[in-house]
Amino acid sequence: MLTRRSFLAVTTVGLAAPAILRYRPAWSAAARVRRNASTMAPTDPFFSDYAQAVEAMHQLPVSDQRNWRNQALIHIRHCTHGVSDFTHWHRWYVSYFEQICSKLIGKPDFALAYWDWEESKSKVPDPFFDLPKLNVVQWNDQSNEQSDNWGPGRVTTIGARGIARAQTMTSIPQFANSFLKTTLDSIRGQPDFEIFTGLLEGQPHGNAHVAVGSLHGARGHMGSGMSSLDPIFWLHHCNIDRIWAEWQANGNTSDDPKNTYPDSFYDADGKPVGSKTSTGALSLGSFDYIYDTIEPTVIGQISEKLDLQKFDAGGNSMMAKLNLTTPASIGSGASPGPALPNIERAVDVKVTDLVQALSEVRVFLAPETSLKAIEPSRIVARLEGVETPQNTDIAVGVFVNCPYLTPETPSDDKLCAGVFSFFGPGGPHGHHGGPRNVYIDLTDALRSVASQGRLAGNGFKVQLMAVPVAEGVPADTRIPFKGVTILSA
Statement to judge: residues 277 and 337 lie in one domain:
no
Residue 35 belongs to a domain: yes
- Higher pLDDT residue, 306 or 396? 396
Statement to judge: residues 264 and 152 lie in one domain:
yes
- For residue 474, which phi and psi values (nearest 5 degrees)? -60, 145
Q: How many angstroms separate the CA atoms of 6 and 1, rounded?
A: 9
Statement to judge: residues 105 and 223 lie in one domain:
yes
**How many Cβ atoms from other residues are within 10 Å of residue 363's Cβ?**
17
- Higher pLDDT residue, 353 or 199? 199
Condensed to tens digits (0 to 9), the pLDDT of residues 46-72 reads: 999 999 999 999 999 999 999 999 999
Q: How many angstroms separate the CA atoms of 463 and 152, rounded?
A: 31
Condensed to tens digits (0 to 9), the pLDDT of residues 228-240 reads: 999 999 999 999 9
- Residue ranges making up the domain that contains 31: 22-291
Statement to judge: residues 141 and 284 lie in one domain:
yes
Statement to judge: residues 256 and 363 lie in one domain:
no
Residue 10 belongs to a domain: no
The reported pLDDT for the residue numbered 362 is 66
CA proximity to 291, closest of 247, 252, 250, 238: 238
The reported pLDDT for the residue numbered 1 is 32
Four-CA torsion 465, 469, 473, 475, nearest 10 degrees: 20
Residue 270 belongs to a domain: yes
State how far the alpha carbon of 265 is from the alpha carbons of 42, 45, 170, 261, 472, in Å.
31, 27, 34, 9, 38
Statement to judge: residues 113 and 229 lie in one domain:
yes
Statement to judge: residues 283 and 352 lie in one domain:
no
CA proximity to 460, closest of 376, 383, 410, 399: 399
Decide: 206 and 125 in contact? Cβ < 8 Å.
Answer: no
The reported pLDDT for the residue numbered 324 is 45
Chain center to CA of 277: 21
Statement to judge: residues 216 and 350 lie in one domain:
no
Decide: 401 and 349 in contact? Cβ < 8 Å.
Answer: no
Statement to judge: residues 104 and 222 lie in one domain:
yes
Mean local confidence (pLDDT), 361-380: 66
Statement to judge: residues 281 and 337 lie in one domain:
no
The reported pLDDT for the residue numbered 147 is 87
Mean model confidence pLDDT for the chain = 85
Please report, for the domain that includes residue 60, its CATH number. Answer: 1.10.1280.10
96 pLDDT higher than 90: yes
Condensed to tens digits (0 to 9), the pLDDT of residues 404-430 reads: 999 999 999 999 999 999 985 454 334
Mean local confidence (pLDDT), 91-103: 98
Decide: 261 and 276 in contact? Cβ < 8 Å.
Answer: yes
Condensed to tens digits (0 to 9), the pLDDT of residues 240-285 reads: 999 999 999 888 999 999 999 999 999 999 999 999 999 999 999 8
CA proximity to 68, closest of 134, 147, 156: 134
Statement to judge: residues 123 and 190 lie in one domain:
yes
